[in-house]
Amino acid sequence: MLSKKFVISNKYGFHLRPAQVMVEKMTPFNSSVKIKRGNGTEVDAKSLLGLMSLGLKDGETVEAVIMGSDEMSAMKTLKELFSSNFGENQ
């Protein structure tokens, strides 16, 4: 199991487009990928509706928890998504 905290850095929060990018990038992995909000709410990172239900705002911290056979690759991809701000410029 791997876990890492990430900060949402988008003035619009974690809206539909970054959520869609995350789902598209995480779905091919066999590992379980969960995103936890600070209040303990946890959703599947492969679920667009789940991610949108978190209502994440700019500056919020989330924890990614990945467990499975390809967890290292999944975490690498997730780190790249957050570091590139999901391909959005601000």
Residue 90 is predicted with a pLDDT of 56
Q: Let me know if residue 90 belongs to a domain.
A: no
Total structural domains within the chain:
1
Question: What CATH number did the domain enclosing 70 receive?
Answer: 3.30.1340.10
Residue 59: predicted pLDDT: 94
Assigned domain for 27 exists = yes
89 lies in some domain: no
Q: Known catalytic residue: 44?
A: no
Query: Residue 43 sits in which domain range?
Result: 2-84
Residue 52 lies in a domain: yes
3-state class of 73 per DSSP? helix
Strands of 61-67's sheet, edge to edge? 2-7, 61-67, 32-37, 42-44
**pLDDT value for 88:** 79
Q: How far apart are CA 57 and CA 71, in angstroms?
A: 26
Catalytically annotated residue among 2, 10, 15, 48? 15
Query: pLDDT, tens digit, for every residue of 45-83?
Result: 999 999 999 999 999 999 999 999 999 999 999 999 999
Residue 31 belongs to some domain of the structure:
yes
Q: Is 44 domain-assigned?
A: yes
Rounded to an integer, the average pLDDT of 13-28 is: 95
